[in-house]
Amino acid sequence: MISFFKDKLKDRLLALYTRYSKQYKKRVPIITNSRVPLAIGLIYTVEVDNPEKTEAVLRAIEKIKASGKQVKVLCYLPTHQMNPNIKFKAFSKQDINLLGHTKNRELNDFLKTPFEHLYHLDLTSDPVLDYIITICNAKCKIGNFMVGRNSIFDILFKGLVETDKKFTFDSLISKMLNYMQLLQV
């Protein structure tokens, strides 16, 4: 019972930190050497009942690597859904304390990496992921449109998911990558 209230409190505090970070903190521009390409970051929630999502991410990584770019992937493991068969670095809500400090080495490495693009590959919002995306070091943060999240992302895609057709994460990821290639962001 206490852990339930602690999780709810953590969600509220992280949402508050996210709002504060986006409103009051100045974004530090990423200055890089043109000969050293920036990586592409992918962050998503692992769903135990949806292994196709991880397979779609693997195919997207192959597609991005074929264009000559580095890719870093970070998975978010929701509470009580630990999956030992994860192919990527992962973190959970327990890796962030109530003050928003991270204590997972993989998460800290991901946050310190300068990204050209950071893609959030989920359809639903989570306060933990919103906070991580806000403090992540990326030139351009890209995600699926949801009300109230326009301050977190630089580019939001609306209408990529057709509600009346069968949805696949392959189609969402490929549409995001194609649009970003067309925009040359």
Q: What is the pLDDT of residues 113-145, one digit of tens each?
A: 999 889 998 888 888 898 899 888 888 888 888
Is position 176 within any domain?
yes
The verdict on residue 12 lying in a domain is: yes
Dmax over CA atoms of the chain, in Å, equals 53
Residue 32 is assigned to a structural domain of this protein: no
pLDDT-based confidence at 185, cuts 50/70/90? very low
Distances (CA, A) of 83 to 3, 60, 97, 103: 21, 21, 21, 19
Is 18 within a domain? yes
- CATH number at 137 reads 3.40.50
Contact in structure between 58 and 87 (CB atoms under 8 Å): yes
Going by the DSSP 8-state scheme, the letter that residue 151 receives in this structure is T
| Predicted pLDDT of residue 173 | 80
> What phi and psi, each to the nearest 5 degrees, are found at residue 114?
-80, 125
* 159 backbone φψ class: left, alpha, beta (φ>0; ψ -120 to 50): left
Distance between first and last Cα of the chain: 46
- Residue 43, pLDDT score: 93
- The answer to whether position 142 is within a domain reads yes
> If you average pLDDT over each of 9-18, 32-41, 146-155, which comes out highest?
146-155
pLDDT given at position 71: 93
Note the pLDDT tens digit of each residue in 42-64: 999 888 777 788 888 898 899 88
Q: Give a yes or no: residue 31 inside a domain.
A: no
Share of the chain above pLDDT 70, in %: 75
Q: Give pLDDT, residue 161.
A: 57
- Asked whether residue 148 is assigned to any structural domain, the reply reads yes
Domain count, the chain: 1
Query: Cβ distance 140 to 185 under 8 Å?
Result: yes
Domain that holds residue 107: 2-26+37-183
